[in-house]
A and B are shown apart, each in its own frame.
Chain A
Amino acid sequence: MLAIDAAAYRSPWRRLHPTVKGVFFGGLLVCALALPTWPAAPLVAAVALAAAFGPARVSPAAFLRAAWGPLLFVLTGSLALLVSVGGPQQIVALDPAGPARAAEVTGRAAAAICCQLLFAFTTPLADLLPRLTRIGLPAVLVEVVALIYRMLFVTLDSARRIHAGQAGRLGYANRRAWTRSAGSLGAALFVRSYDRARRMQRGLECRGYTGELTVLVEELSLRPAAVLAAAAPPLLVAAAAVNYQLGAGL
């Protein structure tokens, strides 16, 4: 399993309806994106992290491991905002407004990444995918998405095994071998995935498959009170940020 999905299955918030978590983290995400970065971003990050490390009991180490990739992208991308190119004096010059702009983008993105990741850390995809039809996505698409999700882990496992076999035969010893091994790994995966899909098809047909893949979705109760409670923190953050802005403007 992948680390984030595994953490989501262990999360105490797993039993909460995805809508509740969507309202909570989605509301915070909208606050981070739509409100002025200072003070909205730090407030959003603080609320999201407090909820995650408190009641949702997300492991900080696992969270950091998942977050450093996107944060690295944000930091490299922000570096480009520090300089100005093609100015009248110098071709490349430090932009005096650059640090403020870079800090704003980094703050906004970091807060947004927290919201996205913590939603993923508390909601297994298997709970989320069957409910996507409710937001108006075509049923065929949702079925294909769920099918891809189920086949993903077997395909990942095949890739891991083929990779281990190749590495044991010095398949990744130098760049040339690496290129050849990566190509063969892809080809073998393609052949195996198609073969497995065809065998699965035959197996399903023997069990009366008519084109519908019905699976049991765990019933989670959606209480209006829970949705309201989830909507409260984002609304409070928005009110606090707007209040601060108005106070600063006076």
Chain B
Amino acid sequence: MTTVHEVLEVGSSDMHIAEGFLPWQHAAAWTAAAAPFVAHGIRSLTHAVRADPDAKLLIGASGAFCFVLSALKIPSVTGSCSHPTGAGLGAVLFRPPVMAVLGTITLLFQALLLAHGGLTTLGANAFSMAVVGPWTAYGAYRLVRSATASAGEQTSLGLAVFCAASLGSLATYTTTSVQLALAFPDPASGFLGSFATFAGIFSLTQIPLAVIEGLITVVLVRMLVRVTPDQLRRLGVLRRPAAAAPTASTEATEEKAG
């Protein structure tokens, strides 16, 4: 029971908005904002399971993977540890609609099993971590993939995954700052002043964390390319069958990843 703490930082200060921190009107509004995305995700999940009943166990495995990934410890500049959001990797591997569902389920488990985040703030947290984060990451991924289409598969994939993971992470934290600033506007300068305060407090740790998360995700995806290229091709991450073969461009990604 206690050994879980070696791997997972249970109870560290993270960016999940705690239960009761938002006024109830804001909590309700963010739940309404996240609901269409999650509903869309549930519909695509239902279609996937109906079309292929075997997909259910793989979706379950993906969900458990997302939960454990988002609870891993990663080093932070302040000497303490923090967690990756996992939004970038999830969006690239499972696509944003499915990630909206898996992300929300992860947040529910984090609220009930780890006391990270709340139940009434589940909608607000889902909006930042399961909707904005994955969609930003996926947008960045597609953009970089098409911009670097002429480069080698390894370079293109490495760059795209790095951008997806770090921008997804940054977008998540920016959204949380916006949510807090909207709930607690500054008495003198309103929303903008309050946003600057919240973003200022959190950016100290979150910008380096976004870079670290990007690097970790590149390492992770490069290893997956080496070990299970077929799986990645099935998920639509790798495009060419010859992609797994190491090429001269490997070194370029390696330098960036190091």
| CB neighbours of B192 from chain A (8 A) | 86
B175 CB–A CB distance under 8 Å: no
Question: Which A residues, 19 to 44, have Cβ-Cβ distances below 8 Å to chain B?
Answer: 29, 32-34
A243 CB–B CB distance under 8 Å: no
Shortest Cβ gap from B155 to chain A (Å): 17
| CB neighbours of B119 from chain A (8 A) | 29, 116
Given contacts A105-B184, A152-B68, contact A4 B24 (CB under 8 A): no
CB–CB B220/A187 < 8 A: yes
CB-contact partner of B187 in A69, A95, A154, under 8 A = A95
What are the 6 A-B residue pairs with the smallest beta carbon separation, nearest first?
A: A112-B20, A183-B219, A69-B11, A86-B189, A147-B60, A148-B63
Interface string of B7-44 (1 = CB under 8 A from A): 11011111111111101100100000000000000100
CB–CB B1/A1 < 8 A: yes
Interface string of A164-208 (1 = CB under 8 A from B): 100100000001101110111111111101101110110010000
With a 10 A CB-CB cut-off, give which of A34, A187, A189 has the most chain B CB atoms: A187
CB–CB B219/A160 < 8 A: no
How many residues on A have C-beta within 8 angstroms of the other chain's C-beta atoms? 94
CB–CB B1/A80 < 8 A: no
CB–CB A109/B21 < 8 A: yes
CB–CB B61/A151 < 8 A: yes
Can you pick out 15 interface pairs between chain A and chain B where the beta carbons lie within 8 Å of each other?
A33-B120, A72-B13, A80-B197, A84-B189, A144-B45, A147-B63, A156-B7, A159-B72, A179-B215, A182-B74, A182-B84, A186-B220, A193-B62, A194-B61, A213-B56
| CB neighbours of B7 from chain A (8 A) | 156, 159-160, 163
In the bound assembly, the distance between CA atoms of A187 and B24 in angstroms comes to: 39
CB within 8 Å of A: which residues of B? 1, 3-4, 6-8, 10-21, 23-24, 27, 42, 45-46, 49, 53-54, 56-65, 67-69, 72-75, 84, 89, 93, 101-102, 105, 108-109, 111-120, 180, 184, 186-189, 192-194, 196-198, 201, 212, 215-224, 227-228, 231, 258
CB–CB A70/B72 < 8 A: no
CB within 8 Å of B: which residues of A? 1-6, 29, 32-34, 65-74, 76-77, 79-81, 83-88, 93, 95, 97, 101, 105, 108-113, 115-117, 120, 125, 128, 138, 140-141, 143-145, 147-152, 154-156, 159-160, 163-164, 167, 175-176, 178-180, 182-191, 193-194, 196-198, 200-201, 204, 210-211, 213
| CB neighbours of A180 from chain B (8 A) | 219
Shortest Cβ gap from A80 to chain B (Å): 5
With a 10 A CB-CB cut-off, give which of B7, B108, B114, B117 has the most chain A CB atoms: B7
CB–CB B65/A193 < 8 A: yes
Shortest Cβ gap from A221 to chain B (Å): 24
With a 10 A CB-CB cut-off, give which of B13, B46, B68, B196 has the most chain A CB atoms: B68
| CB neighbours of A79 from chain B (8 A) | 201
